[in-house]
Amino acid sequence: MATVSYQQATRFYPGADAPAVDGLDIDIADGEFLVLVGPSGCGKSTSLRMLAGLEDVDEGTIRIGDRDVTGLAPGKRDVAMVFQSYALYPHMSVAENMGFALEMAKVPKDERIRRVREAARILDLESYLDRKPKALSGGQRQRVAMGRAIVREPQAFLMDEPLSNLDAKLRVSTRSQIAELQRRLGVTTVYVTHDQVEAMTMGDRVAVLKDGVLQQCDTPLGLYRRPANAFVAGFIGSPAMNIREFTVTDGHARIGELDVPLSRATHTQLAREDSDRVLLGFRPESVELVGPTEGYPVAVRLVEELGADTYLYGSVIGAAELNGPDIVARIAVDHTPSIGDTVHLRVRPGQEHAFSPVTGVRLE
Amino acid sequence: MSTSLAAAPAATSRRRAPEPPKRTAAERWKRRGPLLPALLITILLTQLPLLGTLYYSLRSQNLLRPETNGFAGLSNYATVLGDEYFRAAVVNTLVLTASTVVLSMALGIAFAVLLDKKFLGRGVVRTLLITPFLVMPAAAALLWKHAMFNPLFGMLNWLLSVFGVDKIDWVSQFPMPSIVLMLTWQWTPFMMLIVLAGLQSQSTEILEAARVDGAGAWATFRRITLPHLRRFIELAILLGSIFVVQTFDPIFLITQGGPGQATTNLPFLIYQTTFRAFEVGEAAAAGVIVVVGTIVIATFALRVISSLFQEET
């Protein structure tokens, strides 16, 4: 177990215009569960592969504990990796799969068998040790891949979308099992996913990447409450945050018939950028239904009833700025309106987010 | 909706797929009819010659002594099996086939592993490596006989002279190794192509997993790649053996089965029996024995190879 740190780690793919990973700086504490998340092509898998040694580091360094591993071969880094396809060795039994790394490390046979047994017990794989991967179900194969990592007792676990080949129900239960197992073993873990729910539920901290650049690295709640920029705000949370651009006049953003006041700090920052526009956003769950004289009148276009929640899709009447995609609001189930109704909505005070229209950076 | 569900009978009889409709004989023949010409031609070209061979193998049939022609029972088989030339030819064929297949497979795997790596000019190298397989066997045999093996101006002796080796009369001094050398040159590309296909079908994630697990290049090859290649190697060995057993051109053109009987393999012996001794019956019996022997050995060899490797899948 050890700390892991990326220091200005950069990877250029030959022939590409921009780096796949650009000056990545993350310090991961001993025993921490860090999730790398982002849309496809954001460099999250490349970052993980750089740590594993499967991808070259063109600039910067990567350290595991106090060792500089930047130029080290994958096998010498003492990290274990779980692949998206599990990458089990098809001609070896479950026990041989799990023991292969120990065999390569010339661990004595007794010790090897003991550790494989132990890992199989933890993962409930004891009765499958003699089977070939082909004779296992998807969930069992996933557990063998985990077992292969566990038996090594490595400095760090690297997981590259290990749940994406499971069906939805199994994914949810395996998700909590992995998180629980990681906490029990206390091994530093870097976990890659494109699924923001996985990222939010599993990680001690979550690093959001876009186009090879780290956008924000914070606890799940930190990301949710104070997204560092408009991209993170739109990426974290489901359904996504409603974000629109508005004109600023006399210190207010003009939305339909109403003026929304902006804080002084927001003002100063906008003035510094010489911008007369602002990006405002609110989460669907920050909205409440109000009486007909308050808030904004919204024409309901679509209602999604999920049982626990109701999502309402509609457009604000008389606000040309809000044309385009519908705004989304979560409302209480017992007040579900019908399609075509007009309801009045209000954003709870203090739950709106402001971003610079030029840089996308959060404004306080 | 809900009412009809509730009203549905609790115990419905299990639903069955409808029976396939019965077709009349005329209908069935209409479907088979278009396949008949191809079937007839296949029978005509493969089964009739076999039947003809079986027929001749039971007859005493010498083209030079037509007065002795007649039914001979199994005496041809007895003659052939008791013939020391035949037994020598069997041994020669086994040695020739086994050495060629093993050598060309070893070289084929080596070249395939090299070609699986990316390097400048890989396409050109790949094409050049395949060429020996594309040259006509007779042309290749003549090329080797004169350009490579010739004791006076052959390239092999020229190459060895650099290391101070005296002139060697390859075909006379080392007849069997010479033929094996030439056949290995010809069959390596075939083995290489099949093994290369196997290498390229291997998942890169598995190779990466082995790297992360700390396996070096050799361990990865032996423990991960080779088991994956098993089926490809089996196929290549089986096909290669079947083709190499039938080798005729280089023996006819380079050694004429000599010196003495040193390189006489079964196809050449059968050729000699038919067209030099005109013993059609004996040649036919030898041919039948070879076919049966090939089938038996191929089946056996496949089993042995399968058990040598651990089972994949």
- Per-residue pLDDT tens over the stretch A291-336: 888 888 888 889 998 888 889 998 888 766 666 778 899 988 887 8
Strand pairing report for A362-363 and A327-331 = unpaired
The predicted pLDDT at position B187 comes to: 93
Strand pairing report for A79-82 and A33-37 = unpaired
Question: Considering CB atoms only, which of B211, B213, B227 is closest to A91?
Answer: B227
CB-CB under 8 Å, A105 with B206: no
* Averaged confidence pLDDT in chain A: 88
ipTM over 0.85: no
DSSP state of A321: G
CB-CB under 8 Å, B206 with A100: no
Q: How many CB pairs under 8 A join A and B?
A: 74
- Per-residue pLDDT tens over the stretch A61-102: 999 988 899 888 998 899 999 999 999 999 899 999 999 999
What single letter denotes the amino acid at residue A227? P
CB-CB under 8 Å, A74 with B211: yes
Question: Considering CB atoms only, which of B224, B230, B311 is closest to A89?
Answer: B224
DSSP state of A77: S
The predicted pLDDT at position B23 comes to: 77
What single letter denotes the amino acid at residue A23? G
Domain ranges of chain B: 83-278
CB-CB under 8 Å, B215 with A76: no
Question: Considering CB atoms only, which of A87, A132, A134 is closest to B209?
Answer: A87
Question: Considering CB atoms only, which of A85, A91, A101 is closest to B203?
Answer: A85
**Shortest Cα distance from B221 to chain A (angstroms)?**
13
CA nearest to B310 within chain A: A91
Q: Is A331 left (phi over 0), alpha (psi -120 to 50) or beta?
A: beta
Mean pLDDT computed over A116-129: 90
CB-CB under 8 Å, B219 with A104: yes
Contact A236, A225 (CB under 8 A): no
For residues A259, A265, A267 and A268, what is the CA-based torsion angle, rounded to 10 degrees? 170
A138 shares contact with chain B (CB less than 8 Å): no
The predicted pLDDT at position B99 comes to: 95
Question: Considering CB atoms only, which of B205, B208, B214 is closest to A101?
Answer: B214
Q: What is the pLDDT along chain B (313 residues), one digit of tens a residue?
A: 444 444 444 445 567 777 777 778 888 888 888 999 999 999 999 888 889 888 888 887 777 777 777 787 788 888 878 888 888 888 999 999 999 999 999 999 999 999 988 888 888 998 999 999 999 989 999 999 888 888 888 888 888 888 877 788 888 888 899 999 999 999 999 999 999 999 988 888 999 999 998 888 899 999 999 988 888 888 888 888 888 888 888 899 888 887 888 888 888 988 888 887 788 888 888 888 888 888 887 787 777 667 665 544 4
CB-CB under 8 Å, B228 with A91: yes
Contact A23, A47 (CB under 8 A): no
CA nearest to A133 within chain B: B313
CA distance from start to end of chain A: 39
Q: What's the rounded Cα separation, in Å, for the pair B200 and B113? A: 10
The predicted pLDDT at position A323 comes to: 66
Instruction: Output phi, psi for B90, to 5 deg.
Output: -60, -45
DSSP state of A87: -
- Per-residue pLDDT tens over the stretch A252-271: 887 777 777 888 778 888 88
CB-CB under 8 Å, A73 with B312: no
3-state helix, strand, coil in chain A (%, to 5): 30, 30, 35
Q: What is the CATH number of domain B83-278?
A: 1.10.3720.10
**Shortest Cα distance from A319 to chain B (angstroms)?**
43
Query: Which chain A positions have a beta carbon within 8 Å of B224's beta carbon?
Result: 89
The label of the residue with tokens 């090897």 reads A112
A89 shares contact with chain B (CB less than 8 Å): yes
- Determine how many CB atoms are found less than 10 A away from the CB of residue B163: 6
Question: Considering CB atoms only, which of A53, A89, A132 is closest to B206?
Answer: A89
pTM, to two decimals? 0.78
The label of the residue with tokens 């007909």 reads A292
CA nearest to A84 within chain B: B205
B203 shares contact with chain A (CB less than 8 Å): yes
Q: What is the 3-state secondary structure (H, E, C) of B255-301?
A: HCCCCCCCCCCHHHHHHHHHHCCCEHHHHHHHHHHHHHHHHHHHHHH
Kind and range of the H or E element at A277?
Answer: strand A277-282
